Amino acid sequence: MRYVTEYRDAALVRVALREIERVVTRPWVLMEICGGQTHAIVRHGLDQLLPAEIELVHGPGCPVCVTPLALVDKALAIAARPNVIFTSYGDMLRVPGTQRDLFAVRAAGGDVRVVYSPLDAVKIAQAHPHKQVVFFA
């Protein structure tokens, strides 16, 4: 599979590492944002392969990774209300609450919509002034 198998080829990885070593001429600090990124970097030992001049800093975590379960459950309750249009980024729809996720709320009749920007939620609110529009991110 393109863009996956290439990175399992040790010879290609060595070429990429040599290029990184050539480019890195002074200290770099790189922050990975998502816990999934951190997990992949550590699981595959990439942190051990990088030159000493590259420092990896673990970031705050993406919203999906750091949203507390209690907050997800509150969001699910709001999304299930009949007069609500609930908007969020697509990755939040998969985050499980205690009993269900936003996909399940939508399947049960909730008006749950994927947006790509908070401005999308504002446009939805302008188009539906009689509804409560919630942006969850």
108 vs 9, which has greater pLDDT? 108
First to last CA, the chain: 33
Report pLDDT digits (tens) over 27-47.
999 988 777 788 888 888 999
pTM above 0.85, yes or no: no
Q: Give the helix ranges, DSSP H, for the chain.
A: 10-23, 35-43, 46-49, 63-66, 69-79, 102-107, 118-127
- Of 127, 90, 96, 95, give the one whose Cα is nearest residue 112: 90
Q: What domains does the chain contain, in order, with CATH numbers?
A: 5-61 (no CATH), 64-136 (3.40.50.11740)
- In this predicted structure, what is the pLDDT of residue 29? 95
At residue 55, the pLDDT reads: 95
Residue 1 has pLDDT above 60, yes or no: no
Band of the pLDDT at 124, cuts 50, 70, 90?
very high
Would you place residue 74 in the very low, low, confident or very high pLDDT band (cuts 50, 70, 90)? very high
DSSP-based three-state secondary structure for 80: coil
Burial code (b: 16+ CB inside 10 Å, e: under 16) for 69-105 equals eeebeebbeebbeeebbbbbbeebbebebeebbbebb
Residue 134 has phi, psi (to 5 degrees) of -115, 130
Tens-digit pLDDT profile for residues 83-112: 999 999 888 998 999 999 999 999 999 999
Q: Can you tell me the distance from the alpha carbon of 53 to that of 30, in angstroms, rounded to the nearest whole number? A: 11
Encoded tokens for 7: 């990175």
